Amino acid sequence: MARDLPIAKLLAELGYRTDAAQAAARAALEHDGVTRPGKERIAEWKRPDAEAVLAARVALLCPACREAGLGTDVPDPVEAGTGDRCWVCEGSANRRGALAFERACARAGFRRVIVVGGSPDIRRELPGLLPGLDLRVVDGTVARPGRDVQREADGADLVLLLGSTELNHTVSATWAGPKTVATQSRGISAFLLEAAAKVGDRAGRAGR
């Protein structure tokens, strides 16, 4: 015997949790004939149809991603509220910062990036957050010969200094140069968003 699902529960499972998101999702399902006005339950076998309609018609975009300029390729997005599952960042501030930074680098033509500084945890996490970049992370507490640093900097498109993390002045000084962008924000999301803005500004000036 076919099992019915509460429509509100199904929508919540799919990331549409706030009243506004549920209303937009219901309207799309009703428009495409998956359900009809007034119904509170839906046959379980219709779940794939519901998922397909929502994937095509009701994208969720959180205010933070919109402010960061992300999700421009999402057609007619509904603003995600607290608890909704943003299609871009998936609710992760670190992912949002990483996407903004990768997009800024792509627009500037930067692919080979060296990140200097950060705790061991940050240095372990960054490569997974930035798969679209040829990324190298450098311990900011260990000084190296200037000639070695210069050779690596010459081969990079961008050097990112994480100034509010574990970064000794003697190390940051050796990496200073025309390819260097320094951030002062704390936390992965914050310094990636700051870096994205600075890379964007630099690319804008270069294009004038």
Strands 41-43 and 4-6, by their bridges, are antiparallel
What's the confidence (pLDDT) of residue 69? 86
Task: Decide: 42 and 50 in contact? Cβ < 8 Å.
Answer: yes
In the chain, which stretches have pLDDT less than 50?
1
Task: Decide: 108 and 199 in contact? Cβ < 8 Å.
Answer: yes
Pull the structure tokens for residue 96: 């949002």
Which DSSP symbol is given to 46? G
What's the confidence (pLDDT) of residue 72? 82
What's the confidence (pLDDT) of residue 80? 87
Spacing of C-alpha 50 from chain mean position: 27
Measured CA to CA, the distance from residue 45 to residue 191 in angstroms comes to 45
DSSP 117-169: ---HHHHHHHHHH-TTSEEEEE-BTS---HHHHHHHHHT-SEEEEETTSSB-H
Which single residue is written with the structure tokens 């507490």?
141
What's the confidence (pLDDT) of residue 133? 97
The contacts found for 185-190 with CB under 8 angstroms, 24 or more apart, are: 187/93, 188/93, 188/94, 188/97, 188/98, 188/122, 188/125, 188/126, 188/129, 189/93, 189/94, 189/96, 189/97, 190/97
What pTM was estimated for this model as a whole? 0.81
What's the confidence (pLDDT) of residue 74? 79
What's the confidence (pLDDT) of residue 1? 46
What's the confidence (pLDDT) of residue 31? 94
Residue-range domains of the chain with CATH: 4-79 (no CATH), 93-207 (3.40.50.2300)
Per-residue pLDDT tens for 3-59?
898 999 999 999 999 999 999 999 999 999 999 999 999 999 999 999 999 988 899
Pull the structure tokens for residue 126: 């960054």
What's the confidence (pLDDT) of residue 116? 96
